[in-house]
Structure 1
Amino acid sequence: MKKYRSALVGLAAAVVSAVAPAVPAQAATTLPAVNFRLKATGYSGLVDDLDAALPNVSVPTVVGDGNRVATSCSPAAANRVAAFCWNSGDDDVTYWIPQGITTTADAYGEATYEGSTAVLVSWYDDGTDGVDRGIRVSFVDYSTPSAPTYRHVLLVEPYTNGSGQASFRPINLHAGGMFWYGQYLYVASTSSGFRVFDLRHLWQTSTTNSAAIGRQSDGSYQAYGYKYVLPQVLAYNQSTTNGYAPIRFSFASLDRTSTPDSVVVGEYANPGAGSRLFRFPIDYTTRMLTTSSDGYAHASEAYDVSVQSMQGATAVDGKFYLSTSDGSGNAGDLATFTPGGSVVMHYDVLPVGPEDFSYWPAKGQLWSLTEYAGNRSVFAVRASAY
């Protein structure tokens, strides 16, 4: 459904060109950030058992083992500086839906991870083909941007099966956003907080049974035919104080331009509902959210921006960038917001169906992706244009 645009836009909104001028929308409200918090669980004790049972491979091994080839494309994004599209099978599949994005520029400041340059994209399985495989991440080798190759990796949760053996199972999340920080991949869990995956423990599985998951009676480990799996090792669970509504973890990104580094979290909202943005500090020495003396990681900033259909957000040098969707038939919008000021809308500058945001500092690029089957792309725009 096409988003309602503020009365401040007036009749001019009806006659703007495909790349509309920036338009002030509404002032944002500052919220008491300390009331929003997250607490980590312990690290999974099953990881060592599964390390012993399965071959452990490196990120460069997975990135270099692409079994699919991306295509060149030109999505309709203003100030676009880079793009690629999935192969036809991934572009057209209806039950796997892409959502989140991060890159090796998030992982480390030098923008590589153990020598690899990669873009990661999360997908969730909606189960409409009769099987719910949970979530997967595409590891895209971006060392050759003109012809990137990629491979999907299934994300799994270790558990102890009915026979008392270490196994793993699919994870049913929307995976609307994620960020990579050091060895950890953080994936947004809409109602609870974050699931955290450890890239030091990538496991190679058997691919003989595409209908099975986890440890089988013959001792093999299957993953619906996926060659590699990445395990969840811990989680962050949210809570609030003083009567504030829980955060809806719709998307997330890393901000390496803040001091200290920080995480931006935001909420998707339907028309008529409020939407909020949050910032949590993160510790570069532990790669974990910064914890206070009470054992919780508290938000350092919180705002009600009331931007509907917000799909992604990040921040660069104190300025927030928000992606918003107008449904499957209209171009997406980009909003900007600096604390203390109003949200500014840049209408129709993103392709149809934009999702999560990730910033690549050395390139000055905002990376995003689109979700609708038959019209999917991964693209970057010049952040300084906004």
Structure 2
Amino acid sequence: MAVRKRLVALAATGAVLLAGAALTATTSTMASAAGGPTTLPASQYTLTSDYHKYDTLDSALVSKLGTASVDTVMKNANHTRTGITDSLGIAGYQTGFRFDSGDNSDCTNYPQGITSSRDAIGTANSGNYDGHQLILVSWYTKAGCGGSQARSRITLVDWDATWPNKYRKILLVEPAGTASTPNFTDIPIHAGGVSWYGDYLYVADTGHGMRVFNMKKILKTDTSGSSSEIGRQSDGTYHAHNYAYVLPQVGTITSHTTSGTSLVWSTISLDRVSRSIVMTEYTCASCTNYPQRSPRAVRFPFASGATTFAATTTATQALHLPWYNLNGVGSHNGRWWFNSSGAKKLYYWTPSTGSHTYNWVGGGESLSYWEDASGPDLLWSLQEPTGHRNVFAVTQATYGP
């Protein structure tokens, strides 16, 4: 299996981390101390979907620019990932990587969401999508260090021993213009969570719901311009801040509620067992930039037999949570995980067993469940602090049965 091959390849650089990972997880039952999650009326939360919002513009852009397959993108990957050298000090560590030195220390770009080709297609063919086993990370970009959000992107990382240790960046864009003169613009969202299911990529859009992209519609752009140029230029070429590839939005998933308080789509994750996406909110007990209330987590099912949502979707589960500063959520087979970056804890909960708390990394972000047909299932996560952008996997069984 490719992941096990990577363990051998990373053994030298990960020795320090593995020593820290030998620590025993601290576990305590939270049901009585914090009350545990409680059930909310799921019928109060709905989604409306539009997968055809940009059909005309997307078709025009494809005609102008042409598409690149995921395989083509990865064969042209131009960044090299490295092994983890930090000691994360968490139990169950299995494997991981770090972005190159430029991305690891970049104060204008911040990694947020995580998903994989295992989400997209499951365990068949070792989870290969278009011939590659991939980890996908979403990022947001600031207009200078400390500036406001300016755009967002994804990174495709090869995670297979048959391919080099490479990754490629792809800019997320929103179609604009007209059918005769199509264009695209930046998408200045936080991109705090991402889920890949079939060919569709779902990206959390904080105050609205999700934006939808199609991984079969990656476009090729001209890289001869300046880093400030975006969209169609006067000479008819298309530039994208010197990105060679862009992924245009194809649709929107809009969130609605009758609860009186709109959902804050801070992060999302795919549950392949129940064929659903789960989301949770980043809130805090006392702060100025985020809601000062306890958060919720909600499950929305896909349409039967599809990787898309129905025109209208009603949630099948909604929870009121006792924890704060949640940057990550995961669910699989009735089990839930929540990552608190503020508390440096990973919370595990099921209705029958209650909740447990485990030590976790600082600066932790999203979670993604990695199914494995021939080995232990994994939980993937990542850290956003500059200088410590580790992307790592732990055995799921270490953090709940």
> Counterpart in 1 of 2:79?
68
* Residues 100-158 of structure 1 deviation map (CA, whole Å, 9 limit, x = unaligned): 00000000022121221110000001223579640010010111399621011000000
Query: 2: CA distance between counterparts of 1:306 and 1:90?
Result: 34
1:28 deviates by 1.5
Residue 355 of structure 1 aligns to a residue in which SS?
strand
1:170 deviates by 0.5
1:238 deviates by 1.0
| AA partner of residue 27 (structure 1) | G
| AA partner of residue 283 (structure 1) | A
Q: Give the alignment's TM-score, normalised by structure 1.
A: 0.88
2:324–2:342 Cα contact (<8 Å) kept:
no
1:70–1:147 Cα contact (<8 Å) kept:
no
> Counterpart in 2 of 1:262?
276
* Residues 39-58 of structure 1 deviation map (CA, whole Å, 9 limit, x = unaligned): 11251121110010002110
1:176 to 158, 183, 192: 192
Identity, % of aligned pairs? Answer: 35
Larger helix fraction of residues: 2
Query: 1: CA distance between counterparts of 2:337 and 2:189?
Result: 24
2:49 to 20, 36, 40: 40
| AA partner of residue 274 (structure 1) | S
> Counterpart in 1 of 2:158?
141
Query: 1: CA distance between counterparts of 2:44 and 2:157?
Result: 38
1:296 deviates by 1.6
Alignment of 1:374-385 (within 5 A): 374-385=387-398
> Counterpart in 1 of 2:14?
none
Residue 244 of structure 1 aligns to a residue in which SS?
coil
1:81 deviates by 0.5
> Counterpart in 2 of 1:344?
356
Query: 1: CA distance between counterparts of 2:105 and 2:184?
Result: 29
> Counterpart in 2 of 1:27?
36
Query: 1: CA distance between counterparts of 2:265 and 2:148?
Result: 25
> Counterpart in 2 of 1:82?
95
| AA partner of residue 346 (structure 2) | L
Query: 2: CA distance between counterparts of 1:192 and 1:310?
Result: 18
1:27–1:341 Cα contact (<8 Å) kept:
no
5+ residue gaps, structure 1, are: 1-16
> Counterpart in 2 of 1:158?
175
| AA partner of residue 94 (structure 2) | V
Alignment of 1:236-255 (within 5 A): 236-241=253-258, 243-255=259-271
Query: 2: CA distance between counterparts of 1:42 and 1:101?
Result: 22
Aligned length: 356
Query: 2: CA distance between counterparts of 1:318 and 1:91?
Result: 35
| AA partner of residue 313 (structure 1) | V
1:27 deviates by 2.2
Residue 397 of structure 2 aligns to a residue in which SS?
helix
Q: 1:146 to 1:73 in 2, by over 3 A?
A: farther
| AA partner of residue 72 (structure 1) | G
1:239 deviates by 1.0
* Residues 149-207 of structure 1 deviation map (CA, whole Å, 9 limit, x = unaligned): 1011000000116x962100000110000100111000000100000001111111000
1:342 deviates by 3.5
1:246 deviates by 1.1
1:67 deviates by 0.5
Q: 1:326 to 1:102 in 2, by over 3 A?
A: same
Q: 1:309 to 1:172 in 2, by over 3 A?
A: same
> Counterpart in 2 of 1:360?
370
* Residues 20-39 of structure 1 deviation map (CA, whole Å, 9 limit, x = unaligned): 23342422110010110111
Q: Give the alignment's TM-score, normalised by structure 2.
A: 0.84
1:277 to 286, 297, 301: 297
1:28–1:341 Cα contact (<8 Å) kept:
no
Q: 1:340 to 1:304 in 2, by over 3 A?
A: farther
Runs of 4 or more off by more than 4 Å in structure 1? Answer: 129-133
| AA partner of residue 184 (structure 2) | F
2:249 to 232, 245, 255: 232
5+ residue gaps, structure 2, are: 1-22, 287-292
Query: 1: CA distance between counterparts of 2:27 and 2:162?
Result: 31
Query: 2: CA distance between counterparts of 1:245 and 1:80?
Result: 38
Query: 2: CA distance between counterparts of 1:126 and 1:102?
Result: 22
| AA partner of residue 336 (structure 1) | Y
Residue 271 of structure 1 aligns to a residue in which SS?
coil
The answer to whether the aligner puts 1:59 opposite 2:70 as a matched pair is: yes
| AA partner of residue 225 (structure 1) | N
1:64–1:141 Cα contact (<8 Å) kept:
no
Query: 2: CA distance between counterparts of 1:200 and 1:84?
Result: 26
Q: 1:59 to 1:300 in 2, by over 3 A?
A: same
1:251 deviates by 0.4
The answer to whether the aligner puts 1:118 opposite 2:134 as a matched pair is: yes
Query: 1: CA distance between counterparts of 2:304 and 2:234?
Result: 42
Residue 323 of structure 2 aligns to a residue in which SS?
coil
Root-mean-square deviation (CA, aligned residues, Å) is 2.0
The answer to whether the aligner puts 1:190 opposite 2:206 as a matched pair is: yes
